Chain A
Amino acid sequence: MALFQRRKVELKTQLSSYATHHLRVFVSSLGRLYQFPGPSAMTVAVIAIALALPTGFYVALKNAQRLSGGWDGATKISLYLAPHVSEQQGLNLSNRLKPHRQIESLRYISQSEALNEFADRSGFGDALNALDNNPLPAVIVITPLIDKEDPQALDRFRHEMERLPEVDIVQLDMQWVKRLLGIMSMVQRGLLVIASLLGVAVILVIGNTIRLDIQNRAREIRVQKLIGATNTFVRRPFLYTGFWYGLFGGIAAWLLVSIGLAFLAGPTSRLAGLYQSNFSLSYLSFGGGLTLLLLSIALGYFGSWLAVGRHLKEIEPGQ
């Protein structure tokens, strides 16, 4: 009777059936999530929140960096010229400085221009007219080129300017920008720490969910092992479940971040309007979103892999 003549399954057949099997397990593990929508949704929500927090902070930080990038351009160095320097000498100096590689642009403000400007802005015009001579020095206002890689460059440039005989005082309005950049790089570090912790939380949440799933299906696992299933076979649906949790958690996190930013967009542009700025919030980029998804999937897969590694071995037939 043909029923009991064992035949070797051919390799080619095996490969194509292997792919079909993977596909089936892939889809059926999704089906299982759908079967228990309540608990599945809860897990997805926890993952989404845990991922949305650092992602949202990250986007906020990027926005802040963009904003401060604008301030970099506003950094000015003022060279107050000595009183004995004549207007012609001042102009000569500014022409000499123009090609300097650390200077983006400069403007020479003569003593009289300085006085006019001050009179306009301060409203003390009449009082100033009462003075015998002009107390204000001539100024060269320099917009420096800022090399973010080399924060010391600006200091060196400043010393170089101080050594010029025509220059009395060099004023660098930079300190606060530096501080801000320093704070931001600290925030960035902090964000990395928080993101790592929340990443671990995601792994634990998925691990725990998968552990419960394994316990619920202990009988099925025993039966499968009893009739010759390898650990790889038993493990597969759980790994795919982790994948799905990661994927859905990532998508939900992306949505949360986008909704949160949309929520902030109105007030931000109104605030920017008050400062005559046309700054507007930038959202999570498409590439950033994909990175979030990939990361989330990786965490989901890893979490279930850990849970499966720990708990599947405990379930053996005969208990």
Chain B
Amino acid sequence: MIRFDNVYKRYESGQEALSGIDLLLDKGDMCFLTGHSGAGKSTLLKLLTAIEEPTRGSLLVNDLNLGKMPKWRIPYLRRQIGVIFQDHQLLFDRTVFDNVALPLVIEGYRHNEIQRRVRAALDKVGLLKKEKLFPMTLSGGEQQRVGIARAVVNKPPILLADEPTGNLDPELSEDIMKLFGQFNEVGVTIMIATHDLDLVERLGHPVVSLKEGKIIRDDLRERRGATP
């Protein structure tokens, strides 16, 4: 599903954010991406959504080689990937419903299909009653859940989250992580970048750790090595 082969990323500033990344996620895998600030977690996720291009190496998502992909395919790649951001990236002049509906509108779904799916997604994150509100009037945790509903509403095979629980209390964080667990159970491939090591240990999913742009721990590889 996701495959990094010796991927390097050097920013224009000269900063080398990733060096020699080899990583493989099969369909249905779920892992946490950890590492100190500046280790390259966000960079890795940005490569996957073609926000940044790798400087070297090859990167495959769903058998699509991102390095060789023409620019016009980028939107179609992004529709395969639901992304959740620490700062939500919601549109504040639109209601919760309209925010969650956006990926479906972009893909050209029918009106009644949009209604059905948005309600299903909002129900999943427990915000069905707040569909008519504007994001500004919601709490941080609720805004985050709107972001999650938007990321899953078009049923993408891949979910990426960059510090989705960054500024939430521990209880809420655990709820949201469990929500990801539920999506994973139905076959979605998930990668979550986080600082919250306690939570990671408690939930027990495989961990991939970065340090200064290199992988220093890869539970997925070890697991494959143990059961080839």
| Interface-lining segment among B12-20, B29-37, B45-53, B208-216 | B45-53
Render A215-229 as a binary contact track against B, CB cut-off 8 A, 1 for contact: 000011011111111
Q: Which B74-109 residues sit within 8 Å CB-CB of chain A? A: 75-79, 83, 89-91, 93, 102-103, 105-109
Known: A3-B124, A3-B155, A4-B183. A233 touches B106 (CB 8 A): yes
Cross-chain contact B105 with A21 (CB below 8 angstroms): yes
Q: Hey, which chain A residues are within 8 Å of B164, CB to CB?
A: none
Q: Which B106-130 residues sit within 8 Å CB-CB of chain A? A: 106-111, 113, 120-121, 124
Q: Say which residue of A3, A20, A318 sits within 8 Å of B152 (CB atoms).
A: A3
Q: Say which residue of A16, A21, A233, A318 sits within 8 Å of B46 (CB atoms).
A: A318
Q: Is A135 in the interface zone, CB < 8 Å from B?
A: no
Q: Hey, which chain B residues are within 8 Å of A233, CB to CB?
A: 75, 106
- How far, in Å, is B207 (CB) from chain A's closest CB? 24
Q: Is B187 in the interface zone, CB < 8 Å from A?
A: yes
Q: Is the interface of B mostly helix, strand, loop or mixed?
A: helix
Cross-chain contact A227 with B106 (CB below 8 angstroms): yes
A28 to B111, CA, bound (A): 16
Q: Which A203-256 residues sit within 8 Å CB-CB of chain B? A: 219-220, 222-231, 233
Q: Hey, which chain A residues are within 8 Å of B52, CB to CB?
A: 318
Cross-chain contact A21 with B108 (CB below 8 angstroms): yes
Cross-chain contact B79 with A226 (CB below 8 angstroms): no
Cross-chain contact B91 with A16 (CB below 8 angstroms): no
A318 to B74, CA, bound (A): 14
Q: How many chain-A residues does the 8 Å CB contact rule pick out? A: 29
Cross-chain contact B186 with A1 (CB below 8 angstroms): yes
CB-nearest residue of chain B to A24 = B105
Q: Hey, which chain B residues are within 8 Å of A13, CB to CB?
A: 109-110, 113
Query: By CB atoms of chain A within 10 A, which of B72, B107, B121 has the most?
Result: B107
A91 to B108, CA, bound (A): 87
Q: Hey, which chain B residues are within 8 Å of A228, CB to CB?
A: 75-79, 103, 106-107
Q: Hey, which chain B residues are within 8 Å of A14, CB to CB?
A: 108
Cross-chain contact B78 with A17 (CB below 8 angstroms): no
CB-nearest residue of chain A to B79 = A228
A317 to B49, CA, bound (A): 10
Q: Hey, which chain B residues are within 8 Å of A118, CB to CB?
A: none
Cross-chain contact B109 with A4 (CB below 8 angstroms): no
A223 to B102, CA, bound (A): 10
Render B164-196 as a binary contact track against A, CB cut-off 8 A, 1 for contact: 000000000000000000010111100000000
Render A11-40 as a binary contact track against B, CB cut-off 8 A, 1 for contact: 001101110110000000000000000000
CB-nearest residue of chain A to B89 = A223
Known: A1-B186, A4-B188, A318-B46. A227 touches B150 (CB 8 A): yes
Q: Is B157 in the interface zone, CB < 8 Å from A?
A: yes
Q: Hey, which chain B residues are within 8 Å of A223, CB to CB?
A: 89-91, 102
A226 to B106, CA, bound (A): 11
Q: Hey, which chain A residues are within 8 Å of B72, CB to CB?
A: 230
Cross-chain contact B109 with A227 (CB below 8 angstroms): no
Known: A3-B152, A4-B186, A17-B110. A225 touches B105 (CB 8 A): no
Cross-chain contact A224 with B109 (CB below 8 angstroms): no
Q: Hey, which chain A residues are within 8 Å of B109, CB to CB?
A: 9, 13, 17
- How far, in Å, is A236 (CB) from chain B's closest CB? 11
Q: Hey, which chain B residues are within 8 Å of A220, CB to CB?
A: 91, 93
Cross-chain contact A224 with B106 (CB below 8 angstroms): yes
A229 to B89, CA, bound (A): 15
- How far, in Å, is B28 (CB) from chain A's closest CB? 10
- How far, in Å, is B40 (CB) from chain A's closest CB? 15
- How far, in Å, is A32 (CB) from chain B's closest CB? 10
Q: A6-B157, A228-B75 are in contact. List 11 more A-B contacts (CB 8 A).
A: A3-B121, A3-B186, A4-B155, A4-B183, A13-B113, A17-B108, A17-B109, A226-B49, A229-B106, A231-B75, A318-B51
Question: Could you show 6 A-B contacts with beta carbons less than 8 Å apart?
Answer: A4-B155, A4-B183, A6-B157, A13-B113, A227-B102, A228-B75
| B residues with CB within 8 A of A | 46, 49, 51-52, 72, 75-79, 83, 89-91, 93, 102-103, 105-111, 113, 120-121, 124, 150, 152, 155, 157, 183, 185-188
- Counting from the closest, the 5 A-B pairs by CB-CB distance are A318-B51, A228-B79, A228-B78, A1-B186, A17-B110
